[in-house]
Structure 1
Amino acid sequence: MKPALPATIPVWLLVGAQGVVSAASLVVEIVAGRMLAPHVGMSLYTWTAIIAVVLAGFSVGHWWGGRLAEKTPAAALRWTGGALLAAAITTAGAVPLLPLVAGPVLGAIIAPVWSITALTLIVFFLPSFFAGVPAPVLTKIAITSADRTGPALGAMFAAGAIGAIAGTLLAGFVFISWLGSALTLVVVTVVYLACAALFVRLGGQGARAVGGAAVLGLGLAVLALATPNPCDRESQYFCLRVEDVSADPAEPVHLMVIDHLAHGISAQSLPTVQFTEHTAMLDHLSRLRAVRDDFTSFHIGGGNFAVPRAFAAHGTGAITVAEIDPAVTQMAAEAFWFDPETATVLHEDGRRALLTRPEALYDIILGDAFTDVVVPVHLVTREFFALAAGRLEPGGSFLMNVIDHEDRLYALGSIVATMGEVFEVVEVWTQQAQPDPGQRMVFVVVGGDAPTPVDSFTVPAPDETRFGALSPRLVEGLAAGRGTVLTDDYAPIDRLMGLSL
């Protein structure tokens, strides 16, 4: 005998509710990545932690929802409404909670993997747990109230999957770039509150039963909107921020922050002066190695466009920049004095840009794209370096910015070993200064068919700084002793950087 329901509930209503809750829960998962980025970056480990924590929350929520499904349908629906009220409260509360706990958690746990996981667990486990409760309850009611249990069961599973797809697409393509993270979570909070009211009403209780919790949830939503946004602009790719680091207001100097890392500094009145080690090396080495003064260049990653801006000021040849995020280019033009008319800017991935334009050859190709502190995996492989070498004019050079730790150098050694399979000459340049133990160091790796005509140089960065090339013997030792040839099939760059367990 079918359990009595407080009222006849159409299966389509249960299917629709399941789809809406599933969509909302996946929106939270995608937004979690954007919210964590200003604190821990957007690395492989960030997304791994988010997916693991959210799935753990769903799993425990499903388990508890299965227990609730054993109650009478009316009681189960009321409990499910309460769970979604809690989902609304914890979702809205995630916005003010994250900046409160990020500093203490990241300071207490040194290992990046565990600190990222712990922070994600504290902020996003409960929203996922409560959002996982409705699925078993609604499914149980659907299959016990329908004339045909098989189609009802299939419809509920399909609704969950379709809702997850819709939530992922809406979060990635619409909500984050148009509303921002905080307002997106406020929208999810309102959706959870509406679903909670529906379930409590279907369970036979008046809407006033949810009033107190709804007020709390809406109060936290208002607090979320009032919480300072760490981003000046949220694009489809990054959290972007500009900071004024001027010593003299009459001589503006700006710093670009992408997610949680500084990506470049520029001064309005000094277009040819670089303010960071890597841009100073990329700028000067390119001009040292170029076969002519009006050399052509292709830049993978724009950042604050400091190097393309300097090239234009030096009067080089045609400049092409592959910057995947249009918002980065717009910010460079608005706040970093880059003139878009001086370069051809391609808003697409750098590897794809090279791959789809086989007719275009360049004297200099520069790699300065990063995901967190590592070069994106598809830009450090043998296949990519072969592609870049094939897009160089005779006598051309490939240069790339690499970050590694003084006491490891496995990532640097692997990139050197991999480039050595493609380029006849591979050089490693860095600042000529004694690093601190374990210090994160900045290198520029050069590939070409001839060595650079000098083995050191001094340029303003912005203070006079001396850079030098590692000896060929040391470079060979890095490749042989610490290098792994990286391929499209195997390139564990995060682990080589020491970011794993």
Structure 2
Amino acid sequence: MSTTRRFDALRLSRPEIAVFISGVASMGLEILAGRMIAPQFGSSIYTWGTIIGVFLAALSYGYHRGGKQAAERATNGRMARVFLLTAAYVAGLILVGDVLLRATSGFPLPSRVASLPAVTLLFGPPTYLLGYVSPYAAELSTKEGTGEASGHVYMLGTVGSIVGAFATTYLLIPSLGIDQIALTFGALSIATAVAISRPIGRERATVTGFVALLLVASAATGAAGYTVEGEVVHETQTPYQSLRVVDLGDTRTLYLGGQRHSAMDLDEPNRHVFEYTRYFHLPYLYADDPDEIDRVLFIGGGGFTGPKRFVHEYDDVTVDVAEIDPAVISTAKEYFRVEESERLNVHNEGGRQFLRETNRTYDLIVLDAYQKDKVPFELTTREFMSLASSRLDDDGILFANLISAASGPASEFYRAEYRTMSREFPQVYSFPTVGGGVVQNIELIATKNGTRLSEEELLARNDRRDVGIDLAAEIRTYAEAPRTDDVPVLRDDRAPVDSLLDPIVGQRYVVQESSGTESTADGSDTSESIADRERERERWTDPAIGRDLSVRAAPEPAAATTPRGPDARVPEPDRPTVPSSMP
């Protein structure tokens, strides 16, 4: 008898089931919102603050409206209607979500709140509807007293939210795509509607069937208005980001978080497709003896362009790669011809954790873990720079690949990082790959050697040394130190990276390809020639400090200079040499 009573006490009533599932669905949709919004608006603290705020506001309004109506209208049937309406909205979310995202991204709003319209339109209504469930369930509760009924409902809803948070984070996102996850929550809502309103009449069955058909049709159709240039050969949601591999012609491109990250020529796997990866070789000109660089660490793997090229080009080099996302590692091995060996070791760890735990030292550390609007702040601070310095040999070099502007409001992150690195390294060098105020790759090189090398000395070393690639064009992007007195030194206890990146949101990220064309990070052509960009570079002056920061147009290389390596380029006569900027 006591066992039966205990079992009955654990059995949930229909209103209690509704509250629990509403908690699962609302929290699951909140986490899903971050993944849907990120490719268009980034995943900064401002984006997440907007998501959390909209969900709380929608739930609060739903609680308020549901509470006012509960005494007269609360029934299991009405709660079932709430779940069916939620499922129908989720179907629309799958079908036109991308269209709404693109449409709202053009609203003239400050970048910090740019995601507000999209989050409100996409997730406000279903969250508002789910807010009705708790007050309805409290009204229908068999618990004695308002306090006991309310407390029981709050407890069930919170437990449901906990389940939704863990299930979405640890099960759904690593296993399913965004549309499939949305379909899961839509199907869960329909199942809950059926469970709490059975037996259902013909009219309710018809409505339920229609919503189920709408949900399945939207998932089968896919996002309206969303096209990908090229063939998608692999796509997944990782615990850290969305991941896609696209083939277009002879080029295979890795997209992380909706932005192009790495590319490989399928016919010439060791060719630099994005020009900026050519800059990875510049440290060989800064070393007193390039042959002494034999231990290299890459923080951030992506398509492993740099690590693969180093192993291919330099016979005595051993490369370690610290990549936090296991899906990126498996994708690189399957689709980008990455093979571990005695000379190429891959570690599934975050960069800072790896440096903290390893007892190895390196001649060169390449920091390639920054994205346009997603920068791990723990890899930007003075404490991190100090840790990196401690893992470098006495003449070691730190190379950092940033995405920022070289001048103007969008340059704040670049200038703050330059200032931070300067606190730990005697010399820091800057190489903006495009120049001017556009968002681009900017390469920073920090050395422990206190003697500063000039552009002329680097050009001379480039002529004397064979490092497997002619870097004359890259050297000519050498820039003077930027102004840094108006930006902070980044520290673990205060690293306002999101604020510094805020001016970048919504701006195009210009990527140069080795074919001589420029495109944005999403793959679209900018319709501007490199010659046009070079003219802009020559005009670039920072008015705040009255100093020319342009990439100076250096004379053509001497006739004796011989291009080297598979990526060597011979400047055309009577045309300005154009600096490259991405592989």
Partner residue of 2:418?
Answer: 416
Structure 1 pair 82–150 and aligned structure 2 pair: CA distance change class (3 A): same
Q: Partners in 2 of 1:487 and 1:197 — Cα distance?
A: 54
Select 2:244's aligned residue among 219, 241, 245.
241
Any idea what SS the aligned residue of 1:439 has? Answer: coil
The two structures have a TM-score, normalised by structure 1, of: 0.86
Instruction: Encode CA deviations 1:178-202: one digit per residue, 9 max, x unaligned.
Output: 232222222211221222234444x
Aligned counterpart, 2:99: 100
Partner of 1:4: none
Offset, 1:297: 1.1
* Alignment check: 8 A CA contact 1:277 1:442 kept: no
Is residue 43–residue 373 contact of structure 2 (8 Å, CA) maintained in 1?
no
Distance 1:36 1:255 in 2: 22
> Aligned in 2, Cα 1:264/1:206: closer, same or farther, shift over 3 Å?
closer
* Cross-structure match for 1:335: 335
Secondary structure at the aligned position of 1:466 is classed as: helix
Aligned residue pairs total 472
Partners of 1:184 and 1:49 lie apart in 2 by 21
Which stretch has the larger CA shift, 171-180 or 447-456? Answer: 447-456
In structure 1, C-alpha distance between the alignment counterparts of 2:261 and 2:19, rounded to whole Å: 42
2:483 maps to what in 1? 478
Partner of 2:375: 375
Question: Is residue 257 of structure 1 aligned with residue 268 of structure 2?
Answer: no
Identity of aligned residues (%): 26
More deviation in 389-398 or 149-158? 149-158
Q: For 1:138 and 1:165, how far apart are their aligned partners in 2?
A: 19
Q: Deviation per CA, 1:234-291, whole angstroms, max 9, x where unpaired?
A: 2222211122233xxxxx321111122110122244444322243221x212322345
2:193 equivalent in structure 1 = 196
Do structure 1's residue 187 and structure 2's residue 192 form an aligned pair?
no
SS at match of 1:107: coil
Deviation at 1:422, TM superposition (A): 1.0
Contact 1:411/1:493, CA 8 A, preserved across alignment: yes
User: For the structure 1 residues 176 and 274, does the alpha-carbon distance in structure 2 shift closer, same or farther, using more than 3 Å as the test?
Assistant: same
**Cα pair distance change 1:72/1:263, threshold 3 Å:** closer
Indicate whether 1:226 and 2:221 are aligned. yes
Which digits, 9 at most, give the CA deviation of each residue in 1:85-127, with x for residues without a partner? 1111112221112122222222344643333221121111111
AA partner of residue 139 (structure 1):
A
> What is the SS of the residue equivalent to 2:136?
helix
Identify if the C-alpha distance between structure 1 residues 287 and 217 changes in structure 2 by more than 3 Å, giving closer, same or farther. Answer: farther
In structure 1, what residue type is equivalent to 2:221? A
Q: C-alpha separation between the residues in 1 aligned to 2:273 and 2:472?
A: 10
Superposition pairs of residues 79-94 of structure 1, within 5 angstroms: 79-94=78-93
CA distance in 2, matches of 1:216, 1:206: 14
Partner of 2:529: none
Taking only aligned residues, the RMSD between alpha carbons, in angstroms, comes to 2.9
Looking at structure 2, the residues matched to 388 and 442 of structure 1 have their Cα atoms a distance apart, in angstroms, of 21
* 101-110 or 89-98, larger mean C-alpha shift: 101-110
Q: Could you tell me which residue of structure 1 aligns to residue 308 of structure 2?
A: 309
- CA displacement at 1:316 relative to structure 2: 4.3
Matched letter for residue 479 of structure 1: T
Q: Give 1:452 deviation, angstroms.
A: 6.9
Contact residue 252 and residue 264 of structure 2 kept, 8 A: yes
User: Which letter does structure 2 place at the counterpart of 1:486?
Assistant: L
The amino acid that maps onto 1:71 is: E
| Greater Cα shift, 93-102 or 287-296 | 287-296
Q: Check whether the contact 2:111–2:502 (CA below 8 A) recurs between aligned residues.
A: no
- For residue 169 of structure 1, report the CA deviation from its aligned partner: 0.6
Whole-angstrom distance in 1 between the partners of 2:57 and 2:392: 48
How do 1:8-87 and structure 2 match up within 5 A? 12-71=13-72, 73-74=74-75, 77-87=76-86
How far, CA to CA, are the matches of 1:324 and 1:92 in structure 2? 34
**Matched residues in 2 for 1:90 and 1:498: separation?**
31
User: Superposed, which structure 2 residues align to 1:464-475 within 5 Å?
Assistant: 465-468=473-476, 470-471=478-479, 474-475=480-481
The SS at the match of 1:266 is strand
Please tell me whether the aligned partners of residues 235 and 243 of structure 2 are also in contact (alpha carbons under 8 angstroms).
Answer: yes
Distance in 2 separating the partners of 1:272 and 1:470: 25
What's 1:3 paired with? none
Distance 1:225 1:56, change over 3 A: farther
Matches within 5 A, 1:292-371: 292-293=290-291, 294-314=293-313, 315-341=315-341, 342-357=343-358, 359-371=359-371
- How many Å apart are 1:73 and its aligned residue? 4.4
> How big is each residue's C-alpha offset from its partner over 1:377-418, in whole Å with a ceiling of 9 and x where there is no partner?
111111111111111111001111112223122111111111
In 2: Cα distance, 1:79 partner to 1:463 partner: 70
Using the TM superposition, give the Cα deviation of residue 454 of structure 1 relative to its aligned residue in structure 2, in angstroms: 5.7
Match of 2:208 among 189, 209, 214: 214
Conserved 8 A contact 1:275-1:462: no
Structure ranking higher in helix proportion:
1
1:492 aligns with 2:496: yes
Q: What is the Cα deviation at residue 210 of structure 1?
A: 2.5
State the match for 2:577 in structure 1: none
Are 1:428 and 1:443, in contact at CA under 8 Å, matched by a contact in 2?
yes
Report what 1:425 is aligned to.
427
Deviations 1:294-321, CA, capped at 9 Å, x for gaps: 5211111111110001111012422111
Match of 2:563 in 1: none
- Structure 1 residues 259 and 122: alpha-carbon distance in aligned structure 2, compared to 1, 3 A threshold: same
Contact 2:370–2:402 (CA under 8 A) maintained in structure 1: no
Residue 465 of structure 1: CA displacement?
A: 4.2
Indicate if the aligned counterparts of 2:298 and 2:322 stay in contact, CA closer than 8 A. yes
CA shift, 1:149, in A, is 5.4
Deviations 1:333-359 (A, max 9, x none): 2222222335211112111111122x1
Q: Secondary structure at the match of 1:397?
A: strand
TM-score by length of 2: 0.75
Contact 1:267 / 1:336 at 8 angstroms: preserved in 2?
no
Unaligned runs of 5+ in 1: 1-8, 247-251
- Kept in 1, the 8 Å contact 2:370–2:401? The answer is no
The 8 Å contact of residues 427 and 447 in structure 2, kept in 1 or not, is answered as yes
Worse overlay, 454-463 or 117-126? 454-463
- What SS class does the counterpart of residue 474 from structure 2 fall into? strand
Matched residue type, 2:355: L
1:112 aligns with 2:139: no
Asked if the contact 1:430/1:468 (under 8 Å) is kept, the reply is: no
Taking the aligned partners of 1:298 and 1:226, their CA distance within structure 2 comes to 44
Deviates more, 1:172-181 or 1:107-116: 107-116
Q: Deviations over 1:422-461 (max 9, x none)?
A: 1111111123x553xx311321112221257562568999
Structure 1 pair 347–32 and aligned structure 2 pair: CA distance change class (3 A): same
